[in-house]
Structure 1
Amino acid sequence: MAPILLNCMGNDHNEYIKESVQVKNPYLDDMEEDILYHFSLSTKTHNLPEMFGDIKFVCVGGSANRMKAFAQFIHQELNLSGNPEELRDICEGTDRYCMYKVGPVLSISHGMGVPSISIHAALGTSGGVGLAPGTVVVTDKAVDYAFRPQFEQVVLGKVITRSTELDEEWPTSFCSQGRLDGALCSFSHEEKLEYLRKAYEAGVRNIEMESTVFAAMCRVCGLKAAVICVALLNRFEGDQITSSHDVLVEYQQRPQVLVSHFIKKRLGLVV
C-alpha cells in the first residue's frame, strides 16, 4: 500500500496548517468552564490553545502502550530535542486514556470499540479479509455490517446517518465481524465464510471495530482523516491470532512507519 500512499501525498506541507476544526456544538461558546473529565483537563485549569495550538496531526489508537511507543518513535523520526523515554502523559491524572504531545503531533489512546473512539489518523491492528498477515491497509471508506459507507447514531430517539468517507489523499474496513470464537455464536462456519465472501466482493479488505464512527465524526468536524491498520490474520483462514509476539510487534510498527513518513513529508522534512 505504501506506493499508493506516496503517490498521492502531494508536496504542499502548508496545506494542513490552513485547515481548522469545525466545532459543531454552539453551546460550548456559552460555557464558563469546559471540563474534559476523562482527559483530566479543563479550560480553567489548563491553557488549551497554548498547549495544543500548534498541533497539525492527531494520531489515535486503541492501545495505550502502542500510542506511547508511537509518540517515542515519531519523536526520533522528527529529530526533536530531549529524551523520548521521558515524554509526559498529559492525561496522567486519569486512567482512561494516554496523551502525548510530540512537536506538532498528538498521540492518543482511545480504548476499544465504537463508544470510546467517538470521543484524525487512526492506526492499529485489524483482521484481514483475503490478505496475508502483516499487510497494511489504508482505508478509503469505512462500511457497516451491510457494507454501506455510513454510520448510524440514535440521537433523541431519532436515527442520524453520517457518511464515513475518509480523506481521498489516503488510499475498505468494516464493523461487525462474523467471528466464531466469541462468547456467543448464532451462525455456522459456512455462514461466516459466505458473509466474508460478500464483504470481499464489496471491496472490504480488513475488519476492525472503530472505523465507521471515527470516519463519521471526523467528516462532520471537517477534519482530514485516515485509518491505517495492519492485518494480524486472514479471516478466511480462522479467527485466532497465531503469530508469535515478536512478529506481532513488528506488524504493529508498520502503520507507524507509514504515518511517520506521511507526517515528515507534510512538514517538508523529506522529499
Structure 2
Amino acid sequence: MSRINKQLNPENDNLFHLGFNTKIHNLEEMFGDVRVVCMGGSAHRMEIFAHYIMKILGHKLPTGLKLEDMTCKAHRYSFYKIGPVISVNHGMGMPSMSILLHEMIKLVTYAKCKDPIFIRMGTSGGLGIKPGTVVVTDNAFNESLENHYDFVVLGERVPRPAVFDKNLINYILDCHSTKDHFEVIKGGTMGTNDFYEAQGRTDGAVCEYTEEQKIMFLKKVQGKGIKNIEMESTLFAALTKYAGIRAATICVTFIDRLEGDKVSVTHDEKIELESRPQLIVGRLIKKILKIEE
C-alpha cells in the first residue's frame, strides 16, 4: 500500500462515515487481525452474509451477545466484524462506494492489517450469458468503454487503470465446484453511474434512442469482452489497484440484457441468486484462512 496518503495523521484521524476516530479507538487492537473485507450494495444482504460467514467459520460469540452493526451510530453504512472478516455495505453507485473505500483503506492501514483482500459481491445484468451466471471481473470499463476510471482531482480528470489482480481472480475461479448448479466465468464488467440511460435501458423516465439502437450499443459492449453491467466495479478496481490492495468483484447476473431490460425475478429467486457469489466468497475465505472443508 505504497500510495497511501503520506499527509494522513494516524494519531488523530476521523473516519467520519464509519464513526471511528484514531484518537478514541485503537484500530490496530480492534481490526489488526482482518484478512478479508467483503462489501456489497445492500445493508441487509451484507448482514445476511455476516451471519453466513459466522456459521461457516464456526465463529462463536460470548453467551448473551449477538452480531452487532459496529457503525450504526454513524447512520451511513452497516459494518460487521466476524473474526478476521469484515462485512460492510457500500450503498448504491460509485460515489457512495468511493467514500466507503477511502475510509476502509485508511482503516486497514491504521490497523496494520497484513495484505488485506477486498472483495465486492453484487448483482448485475448479463450480456449474452445465462441469467444466474456468476462473473468474476478481470477488467472494468466505464460508460465510454474505456478500461479506466476518471477521477476528478483539483478540477482535472485523472484516469487510473481499472484492472484486478490476476492471481486472485484465478484463486477465486478455483473455488467453483463441479457440484454447483450455476456457472462461474471470468470476463469484463462495465460500471456505470446510472441504472437507465448509461446502461442502454429503454424503460427509464426519459429515453431518446430506439430498441434497435440499444441492441447495437449492447453488442458493441459485448464485443469488448464485457460479460455484465453494474454500477461499482470501475471505481472499485481503479482505487484499490492504485492504493496497492488486492481486490476482486464477483457478481451474479439477474437477466440477459440482450433479451430485455426488466428484472422480473421473484423474491425467493432473488435471495437464491444473491447467495451464489456469497457461496464462492465463503469458500475463498476458508482457503485464505486455511480452514478445511
TM-score by length of 1: 0.88
Q: Find the counterpart in structure 1 of residue 88 from structure 2.
A: 108
Q: 2:268 aligns with which of 246, 257, 260?
A: 246
Deviations 1:62-82 (A, max 9, x none): 000011111110111111112
Q: 1:159 aligns with which of 154, 157, 160?
A: 157
Q: Find the counterpart in structure 2 of residue 3 from structure 1.
A: none
1:224 CA drift (Å): 0.6
Q: Report the residue type matching 2:79 in the other structure.
A: M
Taking the aligned partners of 1:136 and 1:252, their CA distance within structure 2 comes to 10
Change (3 A) 1:179 1:258: same
Q: Find the counterpart in structure 2 of residue 196 from structure 1.
A: 218
Taking the aligned partners of 1:23 and 1:68, their CA distance within structure 2 comes to 31
Please state if 1:66 is matched with 2:88. no
1:25 CA drift (Å): 1.1
Taking the aligned partners of 1:83 and 1:226, their CA distance within structure 2 comes to 33
1:270 CA drift (Å): 3.0
Taking the aligned partners of 1:226 and 1:144, their CA distance within structure 2 comes to 17
Taking the aligned partners of 2:2 and 2:69, their CA distance within structure 1 comes to 26
Taking the aligned partners of 2:261 and 2:62, their CA distance within structure 1 comes to 40
1:55 CA drift (Å): 0.5
Deviations 1:210-261 (A, max 9, x none): 1000000100111110000000111111111111110110000000000010
Q: Find the counterpart in structure 1 of residue 98 from structure 2.
A: 118
Q: 1:34 aligns with which of 10, 13, 26?
A: 13
Taking the aligned partners of 2:68 and 2:2, their CA distance within structure 1 comes to 28
Identity %: 44
1:94 CA drift (Å): 2.1
Q: Report the residue type matching 1:53 in the other structure.
A: G
Q: Report the residue type matching 2:69 in the other structure.
A: D
Change (3 A) 1:56 1:22: farther
Aligned residues between the structures: 250
Q: Find the counterpart in structure 2 of residue 142 from structure 1.
A: 140
Taking the aligned partners of 2:3 and 2:224, their CA distance within structure 1 comes to 33
Q: Find the counterpart in structure 2 of residue 129 from structure 1.
A: 127
Q: Report the residue type matching 1:197 in the other structure.
A: K
Q: Find the counterpart in structure 1 of residue 74 from structure 2.
A: 94
**CA-atom RMSD, angstroms?**
1.7
Taking the aligned partners of 2:228 and 2:128, their CA distance within structure 1 comes to 8
Q: Find the counterpart in structure 1 of residue 179 from structure 2.
A: none
Deviations 1:45-98 (A, max 9, x none): 211111111111011100000111111101111111128992111101022100
Secondary structure of 1:87 counterpart:
coil
1:135 CA drift (Å): 0.9
Matches within 5 A, 1:46-85: 46-82=25-61
Secondary structure of 2:87 counterpart:
strand
Please list every run of 5 or more consecutive structure 2 residues that lacks an aligned counterpart in the other structure. 100-117, 170-185, 192-197
Taking the aligned partners of 1:179 and 1:52, their CA distance within structure 2 comes to 42
Q: 1:218 aligns with which of 240, 243, 246?
A: 240
Q: Report the residue type matching 1:252 in the other structure.
A: E
Taking the aligned partners of 2:243 and 2:161, their CA distance within structure 1 comes to 12
TM-score by length of 2: 0.82
Taking the aligned partners of 2:2 and 2:229, their CA distance within structure 1 comes to 29
